Amino acid sequence: MQTIVLATQKGGSGKSTLAISLALAAIRAGHNVRLIETDSQGTLSNWKRRRPYAAPVVEPVYAAREVEQRLQSLDREGVTVAIVDTAGGVSAATNSAIRYADFCLIPTRPSIADIEATAPTLRVVRAWHKPFAYVLNQTPIRSAARLASAENALSDEAALDIGDILAKPLIVMRNDHQDALSAGLAVCEYAPCGKSAEEIRALWQWIEMRLGNMAAAGDDPIIEELVETPAILPAMAALPVMANDSALFLRAPARA
């Protein structure tokens, strides 16, 4: 089973909507999918109550100590993809979800303030040595200059080649996403021939390709990238895990 965690410090980045959309894209690609909700706001649970269909199942798991146990159970039950939606801010449940993730997606809007706000999440992801990618979400339709600025900022934040850490395609801000959420649907169900659905399908294909490449390459692909891709952009500078962060985040396990 592959566990994909959507996490970011800042609220309003569209994690829940992306989790729903990707879950349906994965189902249509042939996967047995489970949505895990660790956010007590209950966006996924509320969406599920409006939903006219049984799949996907949404499971609220709010206690950090229960995350690993539930993921192990889902693996034994034959689930092939678990998608975990986390709360904004710093929480034990989010930290636990990242700890047991196979891949972390960090949604952010294409503004410098939103990108800078991802730094605490990035520190947790790195502390657990997890592969990750940013997803530029809620992107204005015509925003070439803003997107170029966002890509440069992401490169600076993560200190990796932008091609390694930016999921493609970006997700444009359209009413289809919110209208689908209100109807208890995913965007690929609400407007299957629309551009939003096309973007989500392409994003899922990108994620599947990335997961496949990671499996083929073996463990710790991000660590390998750090070794193999020295300063590609002049402004790149890694964010250190500072000593005063230790009270907020669990320490990463010792490496062999």
Cβ neighbour number for residue 84 with a 10 Å cutoff: 31
Tokens, residue 227: 């070794």
Q: How far, in Å, CA of 202 to CA of 93, rounded?
A: 29
Q: How far, in Å, CA of 51 to CA of 182, rounded?
A: 9
How confident is the model at residue 9, as a pLDDT? 86
148 near 134, Cβ under 8 Å?
Answer: no
Closest among 35, 43, 48, 40 to 184, alpha carbons compared: 48
How confident is the model at residue 224, as a pLDDT? 33
Closest among 212, 251, 35, 40 to 129, alpha carbons compared: 251
Least confident of 6-10, 27-31, 160-164: 160-164
pLDDT-derived band at 235, boundaries 50, 70, 90: very low
Burial class (CB in 10 A: 0-12, 13-18, 19+), 182: exposed
Better-predicted residue by pLDDT, 27 or 229: 27
Average pLDDT over residues 173-191: 96
Which overall architecture, per CATH, does domain 2-239 show?
3-Layer(aba) Sandwich (3.40)
Q: For residue 179, is pLDDT > 60? A: yes
How confident is the model at residue 156, as a pLDDT? 58
Q: What phi, psi does 132 have (nearest 5°)?
A: -150, 165
87-100 pLDDT, tens digit each: 988 899 999 999 99
Tokens, residue 6: 């959507």
Cβ neighbour number for residue 214 with a 10 Å cutoff: 17
Tokens, residue 207: 């994620």
113-131 pLDDT, tens digit each: 888 889 999 999 999 999 9
CB-based contacts of 168, cutoff 8 Å, min separation 6? 202, 203, 206
pLDDT-derived band at 165, boundaries 50, 70, 90: confident
Residue with tokens 């010792």: 254
Average pLDDT over residues 32-50: 96
How confident is the model at residue 218, as a pLDDT? 56
How confident is the model at residue 209, as a pLDDT? 92
Q: For residue 254, is pLDDT > 80? A: no
Q: No. of H helices and E strands in the chain?
A: 12, 6
Calculate the average pLDDT of the chain. Answer: 81
Ranges of H-type helices in the chain: 15-28, 43-50, 64-76, 92-99, 112-116, 119-127, 144-158, 162-165, 175-182, 187-190, 195-217, 221-228
118 near 10, Cβ under 8 Å?
Answer: yes
